[in-house]
Chain A
Amino acid sequence: MSTQTQHIVRAYDEELKYITGRIAGMGGQAERMVDNAVAALVRSDLRLAQSVIQEDVLLDAGQREIDERAIVLIARRQPMADDLREIIGAIRIAADLERVGDLGKSIAKRVAPVIEGRQPPSLFRGLQALSELALTQLKDVLDVYASRAVDRLGLMRDRDGEIDAMYTSLFRELLTYMMEDPRNITACTHLLFCAKNIERIGDHATNIAETVYHIVTGAQMPAERPKTDKTHTLTIAAPAPGV
């Protein structure tokens, strides 16, 4: 190989590495935003919520930059096989992470209306447990993106089921509170959206897992996803008559 081509190859690798590193940075930012948004909600911390809302632009900028660089890379180098998968995967993961940031921002925006009326602490504990599950999911999948150990992705399916089950349970609890006292409705509706957002963060983590699996193996992740327990469309608790 002539020094000229070697040089080109090295520059190309550098560009690829820059993109994957940037994804990791976005991942860290997204993890932090979700964590802080839920913390702001639980601790009624308006200032923390405000900072989460402001940080969202970082993720938007990150996604735009990755998109642009990926397109330029494809146009200039015409990558094939695993390199191509790596670049397309980066575009997809960046889009998922940007959505995760949006969901975190949306939670942060709801802090103000929620803290107007004080809610029972058990609600926040449930929400916190849900967000811990989703964040563990996100952390694990980004760790796999770094280490490329795709065999670790298996456990993630279980956890996705757990997230759905937890969400369904929270949904019920929130409905109960609303039925008990109509004054709870405003805050509980916002909390319901927060729970939904967290549940969707889990879905985005699963999407990323599928993308990472594809990048590393070139195959689609085996689609043995057991029907997720999303029974929530069916579960409408009957109102307790005159309690």
Chain B
Amino acid sequence: MTETTPEGRARRWRAILAGRLRRSRWVLLAALAACLVLAVAGGVAPWVTAVAAAVVMVSAALPAPRLPASSAADGAGAEDGDLAALSAGQLAAAVPDPLVIFDRRGIVLHANAAASATFAVRPGLVLAMKFRAPEMQALIAEVLDEGTGTGVVDYVERVPLERFFRVTATPLGDGAGLFALLFKDQGEARRIDRMRADFIANASHELRTPLASIAGFIETLRGPARDDPAAREQFLSIMHDQTGRMARLIDDLLSLSRLEMKPLNPGGMPVDLAETVDAVIGSLSPLAADVGVEVVRRYPGGGVDVPGSRDELFQVFENLLENACKYGRGGGKVEVTIAVDRALGEAMVSFRDFGPGIAEEHIPRVTERFYRVDVETSRGQKGTGLGLAIVKHILTRHGGRLTIRSTPGEGAEFTAHLPLGSR
């Protein structure tokens, strides 16, 4: 702490001078003795002696050239690399995990960048009103009541994305009336556990159907159809399709699980939407040609950037365009639009098909895992029931959302909304 009042400053200077004189006391004594000897010997005029003594005193009072050893010895008074001069805010900014500093009333004084990004916590907020989970309430109350000791709890946020933290509450300094909450992301370990459980549940359920079908055909091939080349050929082709489906299913399950494992904030690199959509259209042009769908671009090239991960957004647009081509094949064309709504601060990428559309009762549910509007059509299109779940998950990670509009008989429009980010 630096003192700013005039008396304080004077006191500080006196202390510094006294310190310097004390440090050079032996040299001073020797020098004064030498002056005295000279004066007594009478070889020099008295005023010269006085001047010499003054020079010795002043030079001792001037800051000595600092040696590393002495600097380490008096540490606290150092000006360079001084720990005490570092503000709490600068320290907090260096912590990569969310860190919140609050006072005795439980009001937030400082939230580092990670904390404001993760929880939207701002100074002035009453901490207990933001972290309402019973165990967090208990932790905050405990550290505020006792003022000492450290508490640790596990905190889970379920919506909009599942997040796990180990939270530590610590008083700062010695009774300074300040406290810190540190959130350590425990997501990875928990997500791996969850992933394993989910994967087993989903995979066992979804892989059973194709497996049963393959097993049935094998039985037939070994028995009744043993000597029927035509049937064998047909069965083998069905089995081939089924194994392909299983492989795709595993791919999609893995891709969804991998997404759920990733850290919560996707990379904040600017992604050029037009360029990404162009690349998607390019990569899907064989499919579009196959099903006889023309992809119409309704956007100017370049210019719209959103922060995020290009790979993930590529997957979003790929899944949406693929669906539009497959399920809207009857319409002959798919329109892709990119628009910007400055008022809402978001960019919108829409994929409009002119196929049969989706009935109203299915619209709210198509992003659920394995939800299929029509099982037979979906299987026929080599769908796994995970494509839109992946889309929704990626968009949620990017702070965006998916909206679906459809009128049966007139086609459907899937729109990805992505925040433009602050600039």
- Residues on the B chain within 8 Å of A142, using CB: 129, 132
Docked-complex contact B371 and A122, CB < 8 angstroms: yes
**Chain B: minimal CB distance from A139 (Å):** 6
B11 within 8 A of A: no
Which chain B residues numbered 117 to 143 have a C-beta less than 8 Å away from chain A?
Answer: 120, 122, 125-126, 128-134, 136-137
Interface string of B24-66 (1 = CB under 8 A from A): 0000000000000000000000000000000000000000000
| Cα distance A165–B364 in the bound complex, in angstroms | 6
| Cα distance A166–B370 in the bound complex, in angstroms | 16
A32 within 8 A of B: yes
Q: How large is the interface on A (under 10, 10 to 19, 20 to 34, 35 or more residues)?
A: 20 to 34
Docked-complex contact A126 and B132, CB < 8 angstroms: no
Docked-complex contact B365 and A24, CB < 8 angstroms: no
Docked-complex contact B133 and A146, CB < 8 angstroms: no
**Chain A: minimal CB distance from B106 (Å):** 8
- Residues on the B chain within 8 Å of A136, using CB: 159-160
* Residue in B125, B205, B361, B367 whose Cβ sees the most chain A Cβ within 10 Å: B361
- Residues on the A chain within 8 Å of B132, using CB: 24-25, 27-29, 31, 142
B9 within 8 A of A: no
Docked-complex contact B125 and A146, CB < 8 angstroms: yes
B158 within 8 A of A: yes
Which chain B residues numbered 325 to 373 have a C-beta less than 8 Å away from chain A?
Answer: 360-365, 367-371
- Residues on the B chain within 8 Å of A143, using CB: 120, 130
**Chain A: minimal CB distance from B390 (Å):** 15
Interface string of B133-172 (1 = CB under 8 A from A): 1101100000000000000000000111000000000000
- Residues on the B chain within 8 Å of A126, using CB: 365, 368, 371
Docked-complex contact B133 and A168, CB < 8 angstroms: no
**Chain A: minimal CB distance from B219 (Å):** 27
11 contacts between A and B (CB under 8 A): A17-B105, A27-B132, A28-B133, A28-B134, A125-B369, A125-B370, A125-B371, A132-B159, A146-B129, A165-B360, A169-B363
Per CB-CB distance, the 9 closest pairs between chain A and chain B, nearest first, are: A28-B132, A146-B129, A24-B129, A166-B364, A136-B159, A165-B364, A169-B361, A135-B159, A28-B133
